[in-house]
Structure 1
Amino acid sequence: MKSLLLTLLPSLAAAAAVSVSSLEPRQEKTLCDQYAYWSGNGYEINNNLWGRGQASSGQQCTYVDSSSGSGVQWHTTWTWQGGQNNVKSYVYIGKQIAKGKKISQISSMSTSVSWNYNSDNVRANVAYDIFTASDPNHDTSSGDYELMIWLARLGNVYPIGQSVGSATVNGRTWDLWVGMNGNMKVFSFIAPSPIKSFSGDPKQFFSYLKDKQGYPDSSQNLIVFQFGTEAFTGGPATLTVSSFSANVN
């Protein structure tokens, strides 16, 4: 009997350890370096701390919580001080896309997202960021045109350029801002209040810009299709994206 008990006890302990471990949340990837990167299931996440040199102090880490072909769950935690009106980071999830697809050839860019910030002590946006360029091999850090869809403007932060009035797109009314970032023309659609659960089609925004702003959709290639948060100052704060999906057809 003693021999049997000695055999069973290690097995029971191992089973208990597996049972407890299975209850703990698992993360697929932790990203803390300036441009730490993950990809999987047709998506990519970048801990893109491109402006951290403008901060007097701060840090940011991003965590891939789960992923599948139908979408990704992730969160990012940050604190930034100094450089009040300088963006410190744009941590994002991106849909990996094939090169050489012009906006006019795309029938839809369906996407959905649910997100939440756990703190009001932030100056940041929560936004889609989409670049297009006439050169399908253009560097993906910029483009000829940039479309931003701000689902939230948190704190007294503002987009590039100036307001040119309201625009009704995708069944909602937005404040449209237009300006230049170097040689890239930027269109920013700003929600009047935070939209924490969004389903829509950014192709409709391009169609609006073609009709109202002369956007040349037949010569512009889609090169970047991203969603994330531009952090200015504040924190500690965590943006949790409980679901994100995107498709280009």
Structure 2
Amino acid sequence: MKLAALFLASVAAASPLASAPSSSLDRRQQATLCGQYSYWAGSGYEFNNNNWGKGAASSGSQCTYVDGADGNGVRWHTTWNWAGGQDNVKSYANSGKQFARGLKITALNNMQTSVSWSYSNTNIRANVAYDVFTAADPNHATSSGDYELMIWLGRYGNVYPIGSSRGWVNVAGRSWELFVGMNGSMKVFSFIAGSPVNSFNANVKDFFNYMRDNQGYPANSQHLIVFQMGTEPFTGGPTTLTVSQFSANIY
């Protein structure tokens, strides 16, 4: 997203952490989220339909469905159809990992995560991406941060992240095109896969170590604020992103 007006989905208002219900995987833990910011939490994870950019669309809608959640991870899908505002993100339907506030990046031993996903129709303009915020203030609002890390596992259509390309880098055993830019006062690092990575298993701490060692990221002063994965639609559809498995372990 090269234009300043193309704010990232998680810069929209985010809901606070909610207490988790019973961890048994049953229909009581499933949810349908069709409101603009419809939210659900359980088993250490949270979900938001987050249609923060719907005002830029001439037409369209989106709903997100929680298919299952337990201590081992979550399953969910989101169906959308957006027209108009070609260069504007319409939403960031996502699943997020809940964690204790005040975790400093340098103190984290592990940010291991895995995800398996697929799109039913790829004649769209969208991405599938992790979105992670950090801030010097451990109580910073979860709607933004001092720094943002995005890991684009999939890119469909002529869409781009904020900033400009710094070339190709190798992190977590893969090659990524790195983009760096500013979203207001927040510095954004976006790692873009050259082709869709439908199954991903990595330690996100590796990306922060790379940013610290090569991009001047001040890891010593930054706290983890948000850890999410989801999709940012621009236009297209109807289509469905299915996340058959997502988990994260942060400590």
TM-score normalised by L of structure 1? 0.89
Residue aligning to 1:15: none
Residue 30 of structure 2, aligned match among 25, 28, 31: 28
Structure 2 residue runs of 5 or longer lacking an equivalent are: 1-26
Q: C-alpha separation between the residues in 2 aligned to 1:164 and 1:97?
A: 32
Residue 84 of structure 2, aligned match among 77, 82, 85: 82
8 Å contact kept, 2:29–2:42: no
Residue aligning to 1:148: 150
**Aligned ranges 1:143-182 → 2 under 5 Å:** 143-182=145-184
Q: C-alpha separation between the residues in 2 aligned to 1:207 and 1:213?
A: 10
**Aligned ranges 1:95-106 → 2 under 5 Å:** 95-106=97-108
Residue aligning to 1:64: 66
User: Alignment RMSD, CA only?
Assistant: 1.1
The structure with the largest alpha-carbon Rg is: 1
- Count, aligned residues: 225
8 Å contact kept, 1:66–1:74: yes
Deviation per CA, 1:173-204, whole angstroms, max 9, x where unpaired?
10000000000000000000000000001100
Deviation per CA, 1:22-70, whole angstroms, max 9, x where unpaired?
xxx9971000000000100000000000000000000000000111100
Write the letter of the residue equivalent to 1:92: N
Residue aligning to 1:238: 240
Q: C-alpha separation between the residues in 2 aligned to 1:35 and 1:139?
A: 16
The offset of 1:121, in angstroms, is 1.9
8 Å contact kept, 1:167–1:176: yes
Residue 121 of structure 2, aligned match among 119, 127, 130: 119
Q: C-alpha separation between the residues in 2 aligned to 1:44 and 1:35?
A: 12
Q: C-alpha separation between the residues in 2 aligned to 1:26 and 1:143?
A: 34
- 2:134 equivalent to 1:132: yes
8 Å contact kept, 1:124–1:232: yes
Write the letter of the residue equivalent to 2:236: G
8 Å contact kept, 2:29–2:69: no
Write the letter of the residue equivalent to 1:224: V
Residue aligning to 2:186: 184
Q: C-alpha separation between the residues in 2 aligned to 1:97 and 1:185?
A: 23
- 2:203 equivalent to 1:207: no
Q: C-alpha separation between the residues in 1 aligned to 2:76 and 2:150?
A: 21
Residue aligning to 2:110: 108
8 Å contact kept, 2:43–2:71: yes
Q: Which runs of 4+ in 1 moved over 4 A?
A: none
Structure 1 residue runs of 5 or longer lacking an equivalent are: 1-24
The offset of 1:143, in angstroms, is 0.2
Instruction: Give % identity.
Output: 68
The offset of 1:122, in angstroms, is 1.1
Secondary structure, aligned partner of 1:116: strand
Secondary structure, aligned partner of 1:206: helix
8 Å contact kept, 1:27–1:63: no
Write the letter of the residue equivalent to 2:96: G
8 Å contact kept, 1:26–1:65: no
Write the letter of the residue equivalent to 1:71: G
TM-score normalised by L of structure 2? 0.88
The offset of 1:108, in angstroms, is 1.1
Residue aligning to 2:13: none
